[in-house]
Structure 1
Amino acid sequence: METAYLHSFLLVVDSGSMSEAARRLDLTPAAVAQQIRALERELHVPLLARAGRTVQPTEAGHQLVQRARNLLREVSDLKAVLGSEAAGGELLVGTINTALHGMLPDILAAFVKTNPGVKVFLQSGTTALLYKAVQQGELDAAVCLYPPFALAKTFDWMPLREEPLVLLASSRLARRDPHELLRTSPLIRYDRSLGGGKQADRYLRAAGIVPQERFELSSLLAIAMMVDRGLGVSVVPDIASPLLDRQHVAKIPLPLPSEPRRFGILWQRASPRLRLIQSLVQSAAGLRVV
């Protein structure tokens, strides 16, 4: 069975379109259709069915999807273990959104200089989802928060940055008392399902502040934009992102002590792509601020 055909099949399923899969593969739709038909002949079952303007996997196609993903991953791992990808290969990296807008582009810029032939796939998500994906071998490494529990001995971790909580307010309010602002201004709350949002909620409770809540959302950059537009103030981790420089906002230190948000790189010590992971870690080491 041609693994390239399985890859084409997965692209069709993920995109829902033969044409889109062909575009990503730099092939004609007819060539992709021919590959799918070859798979169907070999497996003796139809794998795709038309659903309006899109294509959807049949029952057999659904059964093939996860097995095909696992098989392609195993093939890639085998190549990595045997060293046939010394000059190239692929790396699957998970990331929290704030790292995407902050340190990660600089880390990747350093990484590709020393690994120009490596294909890097990025997947964003929460720390909990990324941890589970690394644990199950679905990701090679993750740039995420330190989990709220002790890491298993099979994991390794390199801290990258610690971010204390700050009050984000319009720059014209920079000299005002932060607790007074929190009591009198609408609050743009950082999502309490996330680590930083939970920390912010604990701070407000410790300070005895009952805020006037206006919004609750998970994007720190969107929160900064709302603060810039005068929609309220927010308690958030002190992230480093050049995108924040475009907003007219002030980061005001908070009076009470709080646990900083810690994030870094997480990976499995026995990963078959350990060489590439270590290169990624080395690329990040020069950017650490902890």
Structure 2
Amino acid sequence: METAYLQSFLLVVESGSMSEAARRLDLTPAAVAQQIRTLERELGAPLLARAGRTVQPTEAGHQLVQRARNLLREVGDIKALLGSDAAGGELLVGTINTAIHSLLPDILARFVKTHPGVKVFLQSGTTATLYKAVQQGDLDAAVCLYPPYVLAKTFDWSLLREEPLVLLAPSRLARRDPHELLRTSPLIRYDRNLGGGKQADRYLRTAGIVPQERFELSSLLAIAMMVDRGLGVSLVPDIASPLLDGQRVAKIALPLPSEPRRFGVLWQRASPRLRLIQGLVDSARMVTEGKPRGANHK
């Protein structure tokens, strides 16, 4: 059985159209139809049926869909194990939201240059949910924070950045004392369910500051926009994001040392996609090492 025919079948099911699947595969609709007929002969059952202008999987087709996806993933695992990952395969990567808005696009841009045939699927979540997904094999790797506990020996970790806390304030307040601003200005809190929010809360407690809380949210970009609009100040990790450069905000260093947020890549040492994961880690290191040190760096 040709795995390429299974891929064609899945594309037809996904798009609901022979012609759309053919377009994505750069084939003619007749060629795709021939592949489906070959599969049906080999399996001894009809797989697709017309439903108006679209095609839908039959009962046998529905049964094949998940099994075909699993089989194609297993084939990708075998290729990765045998060292043919540069030609193809897939990588399931989890990511925290701040990585999407900062380093991850540059990391992926470099990765696809060296692995042009690899499909990368992204899934966002918190560090806790991503850790569990990597542990259960639902993700191959995660771009996330170092968990607040000792990693199991089955995991590996590559540190990319350490991000200390900074105070975000409107640009006109750039020369003001940060602790004075935290005491007298409304505080836009970074979500305390997240690592950076817990980090900020610990700093406020250590400094003996009881802030005037106004908002609490999980998006650092949204926080920067609110600071830009004069809605308050915020205590956040110093992320490397070009999106913050468009806001009229100042990053003010804090007088007390702050625990840095450790940001990197997490994966299972025994992963069948270890070659691809190492390629992702190498790309990440090249991006972080190539970034000039400045306001956005530690």
TM-score, normalised to structure 2, is 0.78
Q: CA deviation at 1:27?
A: 8.8
Distance 1:28 1:188, change over 3 A: farther
Distance 1:189 1:129 in 2: 22
Q: CA deviation at 1:125?
A: 1.5
Query: Are the equivalent residues in 1 in contact too, given 2:190–2:235 (CA < 8 A)?
Result: yes
Q: CA deviation at 1:264?
A: 0.7
Paired AA for residue 232 in structure 2: G
Distance 1:58 1:214 in 2: 55
Please list every run of 5 or more consecutive structure 1 residues that lacks an aligned counterpart in the other structure: none
Distance 1:104 1:59, change over 3 A: same
Distance 1:36 1:174 in 2: 65
Paired AA for residue 268 in structure 1: Q
Distance 2:86 2:176 in 1: 57
Paired AA for residue 274 in structure 2: L
Distance 1:34 1:126 in 2: 45
Question: 1:14-163 alignment to 2 at 5 Å?
Answer: 18=16, 69-163=69-163
Cα RMSD after superposing both structures: 3.7
Paired AA for residue 104 in structure 1: L
Larger Rg: 1 or 2?
Answer: 2
Distance 2:156 2:212 in 1: 41
Q: Does 2:229 correspond to 1:255?
A: no
Q: How big is each residue's C-alpha offset from its partner over 1:38-91, in whole Å with a ceiling of 9 and x where there is no partner?
A: 99996989999x9xxxx9999999988766654443232123223454423222
Distance 2:146 2:170 in 1: 30
Q: CA deviation at 1:211?
A: 1.8
Q: CA deviation at 1:98?
A: 1.2
Please list every run of 5 or more consecutive structure 2 residues that lacks an aligned counterpart in the other structure: 290-296
Q: CA deviation at 1:28?
A: 10
Q: How big is each residue's C-alpha offset from its partner over 1:235-264, in whole Å with a ceiling of 9 and x where there is no partner?
A: 100111111111010111122222110011
Deviates more, 1:217-226 or 1:60-69: 60-69
Paired AA for residue 125 in structure 1: G
Distance 1:112 1:174, change over 3 A: same
Distance 1:46 1:90, change over 3 A: closer
Deviates more, 1:59-68 or 1:160-169: 59-68
Percent identity among equivalent residues?
Answer: 85
Query: Are the equivalent residues in 2 in contact too, given 1:18–1:32 (CA < 8 A)?
Result: no
Paired AA for residue 262 in structure 2: R
TM-score, normalised to structure 1, is 0.80
Paired AA for residue 145 in structure 2: L
Distance 1:28 1:208 in 2: 70
Distance 1:146 1:28, change over 3 A: farther
Distance 1:58 1:148 in 2: 48
Deviates more, 1:240-249 or 1:73-82: 73-82
Distance 1:248 1:3, change over 3 A: same
Query: Are the equivalent residues in 2 in contact too, given 1:92–1:140 (CA < 8 A)?
Result: yes
Distance 2:78 2:12 in 1: 25
Distance 2:139 2:181 in 1: 42
Distance 1:43 1:84, change over 3 A: farther
Distance 1:285 1:4 in 2: 35
Distance 1:119 1:174, change over 3 A: same
Residue aligned with 2:87, SS? coil
Q: Does 2:217 correspond to 1:217?
A: yes
| Residues matched between the structures, number | 287
Paired AA for residue 270 in structure 1: A
Distance 1:30 1:246 in 2: 50
Q: CA deviation at 1:169?
A: 0.6
Distance 1:75 1:209, change over 3 A: same
